[in-house]
Structure 1
Amino acid sequence: MQLAISILDQSTIVSGGDAAQAIQETMEVARLADRLGYARYWLAEHHNSRSHAGSAPEIVIAAIAATTRRIRVGSAGIMLPHYSALKVAEQFRALEAVGPGRIDLGLGRAPGSDGRTAYALNPNAGTAADNFPAAVRDLLGWLGDGLPEQHPYRDVRASPEVPTVPEVWILGSSDYGAQVAAFFGLPYCYAYFITDGQGCAEALAVYRDTFRELRGQKAHSAIGIYALAADTQAEAERLFASRALWRLHRDRGVYPPLPSAEEAAAYPYSEAELAKVERMRARAIIGTGEQVRARISALAAELGVQEVAILTPCHDPKARRRSVTLIGEAFGLTEALTPCQQEPA
C-alpha cells in the first residue's frame, strides 16, 4: 500500500507576528496542500497559548473545506473532555455539509492547555478525562452507531442529518489512546513529534494486537512527525534552529511564539543547551526533499504505519511553503491528481 502523506498544523504564532497571521497562514498552506495532492490537512487544538492560535479547529476546518477541492480536512484533534459529545457530533455533521465526504474527526484526551484553562472550559475537568471512552461511545452513537438501549438520551438526534459522516480517529502519545482506538475499531495516530518516538512502537503494537474489527474497518495507523525540507541541507539546519530553541523553552514549561532563525543564531546557549540542540538536530527529519522522503519512508516502514502527518512550524512562511512543496514533489503526490483536480496554471 502506498504511504499516505498529510499535514498537521498547529497554527503557530511566530515572533513579530500575531494569531490572525497564523490563521491566515494555515489557510494558505491548506490550499497549497490541496493543489499538491496531500491526503489530509489536520488542525490541532490548543488553549491559552502564546505559541499556537488553533483554539477552535472546527471553525477553521469549515473555512478550509469551503475553499479546497479534494483534500480531506479535520481535527488532530478535538479535545473531547472539554465538550459535550452531542455538540461535537453536530459540529462535524455540519462540517460534512460543507465538505461532503472530506471531513476527519480526530479525538484526543489531553487538555491541550494548562489545568486551570481546562477547568475554565469544563468545570467537570477533574473527571472528564476519565470518562473519555464513554464520551467516544456517545459520539459514535450520534454519528450513526446508535446509543445503548438504556442510554438516557437515546432518542436525541444529532443534526443536521446529512448523507455523509466524518471519519473518526483517535489520537494520542501513549498506549491509552491506542487501546481506545482498538476497542472502538477506529484508525489511530500516534503523536511521534511530542515524545520523539518514545513509546511509539509499543503503542502501535497494542493497537494492532487488540484491534476489534467493527463496521468492516481494518486496523489503520499513522504517526504525526516533525519534518522540514529546504533546497539544501545547510538551509534546512538553519531553519530548524528556531524549532530547536522553541523546544528548549518548552522543556522548561515556557511556550513563547516561535523565534526566527536569526533569533536562534543570536541566542546565548549554555554548553548543556548546545548539546541538547545537537541531539535534537541528529534526530530531526530535515534536509532536502529527497533526504526527508527517505527518512520518512524508512520510519513508516519500521513502524508499519500506513500514513504520516507532517508538522512543520517555521518562522518564515515562504520557507514553510517551500518545505511543503519539496516534500510533496519528493513523494510524487501531484502524480496522484487527475487533470480536473489540479489547479489551472
Structure 2
Amino acid sequence: MIRGRRQGTAPAVLSVLDLATVGVGLTATEALRATTELARLADRRGFERFWVAEHHSMPGVASSSPAVILGHLAGQTERIRLGSGGVMLPNHAPLVIAEQFGTLEALAPGRVDLGLGRAPGTDGATAAALRRGRSDGADEFPSQLAELVRFLDDDFPDGHPYARIHAVPGPVQGSVEGGVQSAGRPPVWLLGSSGFSAELAGRLGLPFAFAHHFSAANTEPALDLYRRSFRPSEVLDTPYALIGVSALAAEDKRDAHRQVLSGALAMVRLRTGRPGLVPTPEEAEAYPYGPLEQQVVDGWLANVVHGTPDEVREGLDELARRTGADELMITSNAHTPALRLRSYELIADAYGLPDGATGA
C-alpha cells in the first residue's frame, strides 16, 4: 500500500505535490482548475501520488482545504493515489481529520494517503484563529497523532472517554448489525522539515516525507535520523522516505530560469512578511533586489532543479542518489499554469513514462 512503483527509467518513485498557486492576474478558480488538470496529467502519465498541502492566509496559495480539493480530484482521476502533503494536525480536532479522510477513502478506496504535519502552515496569528484559543500545538503532536490513529482504527480501550465515539465512515460500520467492514483506511505519513518528525516516524515505523524543497540543508541529517530511529511495524518492515523537491523543466534553459525566478520573488515576499500572488517572470526580473533579498533568491534557486528536461533529469537523479530517497515528490512554483503543466509533461518524457492517453 505504501511502497510505490518506480516508473520508466527513474531512480526513485515519482510523484507530484501541488499548492494550487495563484499567479498575478489569475483567480483562485483558475488555479484550482489547473490543479485538476495537473492531477489528470499525473494520473495519465503514471506518477505515483498527487498530494496537496494545507496553507492559510496566503493569497498566492489556494490549497487551504486539502480534503475539499481531494474530494473533487477523486472524481477526476482513476489510478493515482491522492493525499495531503500535508494536513497540519494541530489546526484540527483529530476526530474531524479521521472523518474527512474516512470519507475520502470511501470515495476513492485504496487511493488515499493521510500526510500529517505539526507546523501551522501559516503565521502565529492565523494559527490562533484556526485553533480558537486552544493551547495545544506542535508540542502535543505525538498525543494528537495517537488519538487520530485510535479514531481511524476505532480501537479506544474500554473506559476511555472516547471509547463510545466513532469516526464515520470508519470501522464501526462493519461492527453494527448488518454492517459491512470497509476494505481499509488511509495510511498515515509523517511530514517534516527537521528532525522531530523524522525521529517520531522512525520510532512508530511510519513512512516519512521530508520538505527538501524549503529545508535542503536538513535533508540528509533528517533522513539519517529517520533510518537510525526506525523500528519495524505493521505498516513497514523497512524505512520508506519521500522527499519533496522543487523542479521545473522547459525546452529552453533561460526560460526555465525566468519561470523559477517568479517563485523566488514570491518566497522573498513571504519571508519578509509580505505574502502575495506569484509574480510574473517580467516582474521578478525587474524587481530591485536588496542584498539580503538576493541571498534569499540565490539560496532558493540553488535548491530548485531547473533547466532543460535532460538537465532536470540529471539533477533529480543526482538528488535521489545522494539522499537515498525512495520517492521524489516534485513541486513547481511558477506563475503560469500552462508552463507548470508543460514542465511535468517534459519530466515524464525525460524518464520515458508512458502516456495513458495514447496507449504508449
- Do the two structures share a fold, i.e. TM-score over 0.5? yes
Query: Contact conserved, 2:246 with 2:303, CA < 8 A, in 1?
Result: no
Q: Which runs of 5+ in 1 are unaligned?
A: 336-341
Query: Contact conserved, 1:50 with 1:256, CA < 8 A, in 2?
Result: yes
The reply to whether residue 53 of structure 1 matches residue 62 of structure 2 is: yes
Name the residue aligned to 1:184: 204
Q: In structure 2, the residue corresponding to 1:14 is in which secondary structure?
A: coil
Counterpart residue type for residue 296 of structure 1: L
The reply to whether residue 73 of structure 1 matches residue 87 of structure 2 is: no
Count residues with an aligned counterpart.
338
Query: Contact conserved, 1:81 with 1:111, CA < 8 A, in 2?
Result: yes
Moved more, 262-271 or 24-33: 262-271
Quote the Cα distance in structure 1 between the aligned partners of 2:291 and 2:148: 50
Q: In structure 1, the residue corresponding to 2:114 is in which secondary structure?
A: strand
Query: Contact conserved, 1:222 with 1:307, CA < 8 A, in 2?
Result: yes
Give the direction of change, closer, same or farther, for the CA distance of 1:12–1:216 in structure 2 (3 Å limit): closer
Pairing partner for 1:19 from 28, 43, 50: 28
Give the direction of change, closer, same or farther, for the CA distance of 1:287–1:344 in structure 2 (3 Å limit): closer
Deviations 1:131-188 (A, max 9, x none): 1111111111222273355532123222113322112100010101112211221100
Name the residue aligned to 2:234: 215
Per the normalisation by structure 1, the TM-score is 0.92
Query: Contact conserved, 2:79 with 2:111, CA < 8 A, in 1?
Result: yes
Moved more, 242-251 or 86-95: 242-251
The reply to whether residue 100 of structure 1 matches residue 114 of structure 2 is: no
Cα displacement (A) at 1:332: 2.2
Name the residue aligned to 1:298: 318
Query: 1:216-255 to 2 correspondence within 5 Å?
Result: 216-217=235-236, 218-255=238-275
Query: Contact conserved, 1:22 with 1:53, CA < 8 A, in 2?
Result: yes
Query: Contact conserved, 2:250 with 2:309, CA < 8 A, in 1?
Result: yes
Give the direction of change, closer, same or farther, for the CA distance of 1:90–1:276 in structure 2 (3 Å limit): closer
Quote the Cα distance in structure 2 between the aligned partners of 1:281 and 1:105: 30
Quote the Cα distance in structure 2 between the aligned partners of 1:4 and 1:135: 30
Counterpart residue type for residue 199 of structure 2: Q
Deviations 1:278-335 (A, max 9, x none): 4543443101112111111111111111001111021111111110101111122227
Query: Contact conserved, 2:43 with 2:80, CA < 8 A, in 1?
Result: yes
Counterpart residue type for residue 153 of structure 1: Y
Q: In structure 2, the residue corresponding to 1:73 is in which secondary structure?
A: strand
Q: In structure 1, the residue corresponding to 2:213 is in which secondary structure?
A: helix
Pairing partner for 1:175 from 170, 191, 195: 195
Pairing partner for 2:221 from 189, 194, 202: 202
Cα displacement (A) at 1:203: 1.0
Cα RMSD of the aligned pairs, angstroms, is 1.9
Name the residue aligned to 1:121: 130
Give the direction of change, closer, same or farther, for the CA distance of 1:39–1:12 in structure 2 (3 Å limit): same
Give the direction of change, closer, same or farther, for the CA distance of 1:99–1:216 in structure 2 (3 Å limit): closer
Quote the Cα distance in structure 1 between the aligned partners of 2:278 and 2:29: 15
Counterpart residue type for residue 268 of structure 1: P
Moved more, 261-270 or 186-195: 261-270
Give the direction of change, closer, same or farther, for the CA distance of 1:281–1:123 in structure 2 (3 Å limit): closer
Q: Which runs of 5+ in 2 are unaligned?
A: 7-11, 171-181
Quote the Cα distance in structure 2 between the aligned partners of 1:54 and 1:329: 28
The reply to whether residue 42 of structure 1 matches residue 51 of structure 2 is: yes
The reply to whether residue 289 of structure 1 matches residue 303 of structure 2 is: no
Q: In structure 2, the residue corresponding to 1:28 is in which secondary structure?
A: helix
Q: In structure 2, the residue corresponding to 1:134 is in which secondary structure?
A: helix
Counterpart residue type for residue 55 of structure 2: H
Cα displacement (A) at 1:344: 5.8
**What's the % identity of the aligned pairs?**
40
Counterpart residue type for residue 74 of structure 1: G
Query: Contact conserved, 2:206 with 2:235, CA < 8 A, in 1?
Result: no
Cα displacement (A) at 1:21: 1.7
